[in-house]
Structure 1
């Protein structure tokens, strides 16, 4: 197997903020080609979950997404905080904050790279089962989230009809359905 990794010669940060960091790298390829500049966006890792209540309903959320300019249906999830000790901890926190539900079991479904060409983070995916509503939502100041409960069959149909627009969430749903042996 041929080594294809680039060698990093240097990096310069162009912008740093809590939600976005951009850097400009200078690299050399194994074939000796200089790549200058190469821009990388640094993000914290993310988590998301297909969440199923104890009575078999899927917990979805609807919220406005400003980058896209529309309100869309998604699975619960969010950014890992720097003090989260693990992706599972972050996922349990996000589920409770966004939906008010706590879950008996979190099954790791793997991780995916949102855009490895230009971003450095991972999204950790989970299947959460045994959900119980135990509190009201505890949303961030800029969040307005509607909780939507639906049968698993409805979620499968939305996926088949390409109506889950958030690609990271569509991936999570796919892996959850695969785990549940519900793909067809």
Structure 2
């Protein structure tokens, strides 16, 4: 038997607001019913890996309620309907969260967050040659500190578990494979 897609028989929204749509679903596969199977329908988001002209990586430090810890990560955010696609969203998030901008951005292929239960994807933008353009433009519920580290220090932080958000580590690894000259000096 080859693996195929499950057939969705029913979808019922359990909770829906501007950030999330949690659904209870009924699927059928190979003559068996799978229910309830919960899916999270989040908006797509973007991770921006920005490198300054001095070859430093721009990071932000912020509190994350889900893990109940202050994390360090790349500028990240939801792709807004007003954005002209993931590349524009990544450049906007970089500017808003860090005050950095400019440079040349490249959009990598989208990745899944957690494909067993999450329907959204995250997009990776790599920007080389950014510089400080001004102050942060944070949302009223954002409190972020900006840091710059070398590629070598970022990789030590990943190894020590200090930079530990899985999708972001995956984004960095993909960027490193695509742009070895930019990140290979780690």
For Structure 1 versus Structure 2, the TM-score category normalised by the shorter chain is over 0.9
Task: Calculate the TM-score normalised by the size of structure 2.
Answer: 0.92
Q: Residue 116 of structure 2 aligns with which residue?
A: 117
Q: Residue 89 of structure 2 aligns with which residue?
A: 90
Q: Residue 67 of structure 1 aligns with which residue?
A: 66
1:23 aligns with 2:27: no
What secondary structure does 2:177 align onto?
helix
Deviation at 1:150, TM superposition (A): 1.1
Q: Residue 167 of structure 1 aligns with which residue?
A: 166
Q: Is the 8 A contact 1:48 1:125 kept in 2?
A: yes
Q: Residue 107 of structure 1 aligns with which residue?
A: 106
Q: Is the 8 A contact 1:110 1:126 kept in 2?
A: no
Q: Deviations over 1:140-161 (max 9, x none)?
A: 1110000001111111211233
Q: CA RMSD in A?
A: 1.6
Deviation at 1:75, TM superposition (A): 0.8
Deviation at 1:183, TM superposition (A): 7.8
Q: Which runs of 5+ in 2 are unaligned?
A: none
Cα distance in structure 2, aligned partners of 1:183 and 1:41: 38
Deviation at 1:97, TM superposition (A): 0.4
Task: Calculate the TM-score normalised by the size of structure 1.
Answer: 0.93
Q: Is the 8 A contact 2:44 2:120 kept in 1?
A: yes
Cα distance in structure 2, aligned partners of 1:85 and 1:28: 37
Q: Is the 8 A contact 2:48 2:91 kept in 1?
A: no
Q: Residue 35 of structure 1 aligns with which residue?
A: 34
Q: Which runs of 5+ in 1 are unaligned?
A: none
Cα distance in structure 2, aligned partners of 1:130 and 1:64: 28
Q: Which moved more, 1:1-10 or 1:167-176?
A: 1-10
Q: Is the 8 A contact 1:177 1:183 kept in 2?
A: no
Q: Residue 126 of structure 2 aligns with which residue?
A: 127
Deviation at 1:3, TM superposition (A): 4.7
Q: Residue 4 of structure 1 aligns with which residue?
A: 4
Cα distance in structure 2, aligned partners of 1:37 and 1:135: 49
Q: Residue 148 of structure 1 aligns with which residue?
A: 147
Q: Which moved more, 1:85-94 or 1:168-177?
A: 168-177
